[in-house]
Structure 1
Amino acid sequence: MKKVVEFFYVDAFTIETFGGNPAGVIPHAENLTDEEMLNIANELNLSETAFLLPSTNDNADYQIKYFTPTKEVDFCGHATLGTAWLMASKYNWIDKDEKIIFESNIGLIPVKWITENNHLKSVSMTQVRPHVKSIDISPEVVADLVGLEETDIDDRYPIKIANTGVPHLMVPVKTRQAIDQAEPKLNELKKMNNHFNISTTHLFTFDTNGEFDIYTRDFCPNIGIDEDPVTGAANGALGGYLYLENILAQQEKHQLVIGQGHTINRPGTLYVTITPDGENAVIEVAGAAVVSIEGKILL
């Protein structure tokens, strides 16, 4: 007898269907094996698919697992946001509680609702505490790997690994034009990321003509994705990097609007809030979402 598995595509960090970053969501994965989850993620062929299972943690509502088309990953921001949006809007969690809490491989991820006139406007996830570390690699090598000139690298800021759950390489770039024109050497970039145990390589710039506070692109061939359109995990890590490196004033609260995905026609907007907390900070990443596709998979 075949298993019937309900699935959804949820476009995260957008208010437009076919914008932002599409995530697969399987809200009832309790009868699936890890192999079946990987096969489903490969079939849906999105950067990540999230699977919800019962949690044994009294402080969590669900366990959440994430798969790319090729492997399981510990955390995915846009799939978390898309899953929370789906649970709030289609499964009426917005009427049950002010938030939903997922148990993941990196710990508990609370996601709260942001409403306006009793309508869901966005959801906001709190990521794990940020940290940064140095990397022994030259700007010249990084520029070559991501398809930039070395003069495109903004040497006012350090190239470092930042983490709010999984590690991302932060690459400061002088202009949006340079970021848009970047053509990474994906095979070589994959080798470098695997060597340093980096999940993605994240280009960012403050050159946005006032449209956003920051503009970004994200490359991640080592987890089976050439380019991730709009990246909740990497932009949360970016917020932590900017705070911990004192690029944004410490002991002040910051609210950033970040644009991403425009180069590959999946434009999206993220809202990153950085709240000081002792020597560290609390990072929240918020955005809207749209349920674009729903259907059934027959196993």
Structure 2
Amino acid sequence: MVELAAGLIDVFADSALTGNPLAVVQGADDLSDDEMRRIAGEFNQAETTFIIRSTCADWKLRSFTASGAEVFGAGHNALGAWLWLGELGKLGSLAIARTFQQEIGQEVLPIELELIEGRVHGRMRQTSLRLSDALIDVAPLADALGLLLNDILCEPPPRPADTGAAHLMVRVRNPATVDAALPDAGKLLAVLGKTVAEGCYVYAFEADTPSVAYARFFNPTVGLWEDSATGTAAGPLAAYLAATGNLQNNELAIEQGTKMGRRSFLHIRLTPEPELSGAGIIVLRGVIRL
């Protein structure tokens, strides 16, 4: 019998049962891909992250959705795993900020952790912005999202942006329009299938408060219908807004998950790459026996 430490942590949360829940499994070195997928299905969370020894970084992370799709990029899947390790004292003293290296897919990326007022906070750098072609015809997109054509704004235009994972950035009229979105999975899959984007990030911001956005995230391509806090979408959004002259002071705060009853806050600073920061709350600790 094999026993693995595991649990749940609410990421980008200031209190339990908010933010984005992440399942974490430690000591996963000897698990097969099939076992990881089945464990992720057992947890049935948006993502489950497995912590594995690395030959080129402090730790290697692999993340799977409940449907078994492996996902990459440095989002809540990565930040939550490090917050888990830090909160359980597995990283030593964090009284002074310390930088660690994480292997995710083909990338090795830094993450800085620090104990602030009794809680571990993480700051995680993503890769440089990569942009793909903007959508020319937005009518199918509006239809897929259950919105009117004039609900979708074209400054900046809907466009896939990538700082670790490519997602379609879609600006709409206002926060009420974000909440009014009622996507059709088949239609949205068809729209995304014609782009390099994996998921769709629907967002709004007001001209007088360009450093604050309100968003929802849909990713039917990996079986994730709606996500309450998506770091791999927040990072490219901030970078895309900056690249198009729509961001002041290189900082962006995003409220996400409110429509789901899981209000989350993501903070991004461009350094010049996106740096995602947040904290979490461990809500469950246990053991997996295989």
Query: TM-score over 0.5 for the alignment?
Result: yes
Which residue of structure 2 lines up, in the alignment, with residue 93 of structure 1? 91
RMSD, aligned α-carbons: 2.0
Alignment of 1:136-151 (within 5 A): 136-151=135-150
Could you say which residue in structure 2 is the equivalent of 1:269? Answer: 265
Task: Give 2:37's aligned residue.
Answer: 38
Match of 1:104 in 2: 104
Alpha-carbon distance in 2 for matches of 1:211, 1:83? 31
* Other structure's SS at 1:95 match: coil
Deviation (angstroms), 1:183: 0.3
Q: What's the TM-score, normalizing by structure 2?
A: 0.93
Aligned to 1:103, what secondary structure does the other structure show? strand
Matches within 5 A, 1:147-158: 147-158=146-157
Alignment match, 2:195: 196
Determine if contact 2:25/2:49 at 8 Å carries over to the other structure: yes
Q: Say whether the 8 Å CA contact 2:110–2:125 is kept in structure 1.
A: yes
Counterpart Cα distance in 2 of 1:199 and 1:21: 19
Give, in whole Å, the separation in 2 of the partners of 1:21 and 1:159. Answer: 25
Amino acid at match of 1:78: H
After TM superposition, list the pairs within 5 Å mapping 1:273-284 onto structure 2.
273-275=269-271, 281-284=272-275
Q: Which amino acid aligns with 1:68?
A: T
Confirm or deny that 1:292 pairs with 2:288.
no
Cα 1:92–1:7 change in 2 (3 A) is closer
Mapped partners of 1:211, 1:11: distance in 2: 27
1:259 paired with 2:288, answer: no
**Counterpart for residue 62 of structure 2:** 65
Q: 4+ residue stretches of structure 1 with deviation over 4 A?
A: 208-212
1:10-29 alignment to 2 at 5 Å?
A: 10-29=9-28
Secondary structure, aligned partner of 2:156: coil
**Paired residue secondary structure (1:288):** strand
User: Could you give the per-residue CA deviations for residues 140-175 of structure 1, whole angstroms, max 9, x where no partner exists?
Assistant: 211111121111112222111100011000001111
Between the aligned residues of both structures, percent identity stands at 29
Matches within 5 A, 1:116-135: 116-117=116-117, 119-135=118-134
Shift of 1:92: 3.6
* Distance across 1 between alignment mates of 2:125 and 2:255: 19
The AA in structure 2 aligned to 1:18 is: L
- C-alpha separation in 1, matches of 2:14 and 2:247: 29
AA aligned opposite 2:83? W
1:188 Cα shift? 1.9
Matched, 1:238 2:224: no
Amino acid at match of 2:288: I
Aligned to 1:278: none
Structure 1 residue 192 displacement after superposition: 2.7
How many Å apart are 1:287 and its aligned residue? 0.8
Q: What does the per-residue CA deviation read over 1:215-252, in whole Å, with 9 as the maximum and x for residues that have no partner?
A: 11000011011001110110011011112222226xxx
In structure 1, what is the equivalent of residue 79 of structure 2?
81
Deviation at 1:109, TM superposition (A): 2.2
Secondary structure, counterpart of 2:113 in structure 1 = strand
- How far apart are residue 191 of structure 1 and its match? 3.1
CA distance in 1, matches of 2:147, 2:237: 20
Q: How many angstroms does 1:196 deviate by?
A: 2.2
Check conservation: 1:214, 1:258, Cα contact below 8 A.
Answer: yes
Is the 1:131–1:244 Cα contact (8 Å) retained in structure 2?
A: no
Q: Where does structure 2 lack aligned partners over 5 or more consecutive residues?
A: none
For 2:281, the aligned partner's letter is V
**CA–CA distance in 2 between the matches of 1:244 and 1:9?**
36
1:19 and 1:35 map into 2 onto residues whose CA distance is: 30
Aligned in 2, Cα 1:93/1:136: closer, same or farther, shift over 3 Å?
same
The alignment of Structure 1 onto Structure 2 pairs a total of residues equal to 287
> Is the Cα contact below 8 Å between 1:236 and 1:284 reproduced in 2?
yes
Which runs of structure 2 are paired with 1:161-200 in the superposition (5 Å)?
Answer: 161-200=160-199
Q: Given that residues 11 and 17 in structure 1 are in contact (C-alpha distance below 8 angstroms), is that contact kept between their aligned partners in structure 2?
A: yes
Structure 1 unaligned blocks of 5 or more: 276-280
User: Within 1, Cα distance between the matches of 2:24 and 2:120?
Assistant: 20
2: CA distance between counterparts of 1:80 and 1:183?
Answer: 29
Once residues 223 and 103 of structure 1 are traced to their aligned partners in structure 2, the CA distance between those partners, rounded to angstroms, is 21
